[in-house]
Amino acid sequence: MSIQADIETKLQALEPTFLAVENESHRHTVPVDSETHFKVTLVSEHFQGLMPVKRHQRLYAVLADELAGPVHALALHLYTPDEWEARGGARPDSPDCRGSGA
């Protein structure tokens, strides 16, 4: 199973109403077919009443093995269903990494 698939499977523990895990490794200076940089957009009731840092900590706990090993970076966009609806289902685009040539 790929790292991306592992991440997607593990994040089901947060009962997402929306989940997108995007491998953005190609935007960085890494070998072809790397799985080191990911963008995660996750919408869950589990984030209700939590400040952003607490949301991030909850996700880091779920992905502790990946963060201790192959995953170098995560861009996190974590919302409650109401926040997601207010944003019109949009999240920020990721910038290109300096030196990536992308």
What domains lie within the chain, and their CATH numbers? 3-26+38-85 (3.30.300.90)
- DSSP secondary structure, 13-61, as one string: GG--SEEEEEE-GGGSSS-TT---EEEEEEE-GGGTT--HHHHHHHHHH
d(CA 98, CA 20): 24
Give residue for tokens 């009443």: 49
pTM metric for this prediction: 0.84
Task: Specify whether the CB–CB gap between 90 and 18 falls below 8 A.
Answer: no
Span 75-99, pLDDT tens digits = 899 999 999 999 999 887 776 665 5
Give residue for tokens 């290109």: 96
Distance of CA 43 to the CA centre of its chain: 11
Percent of the chain scored above 70 by pLDDT?
79
Q: What is the mean pLDDT of each run of 10 residues along the chain (102 residues)?
A: 91 97 74 74 98 97 93 91 94 67 50
In this structure, the number of other CB atoms found within 10 A of the CB of residue 7 comes to 21
Give residue for tokens 């990536």: 100
What's the pLDDT at 47? 98
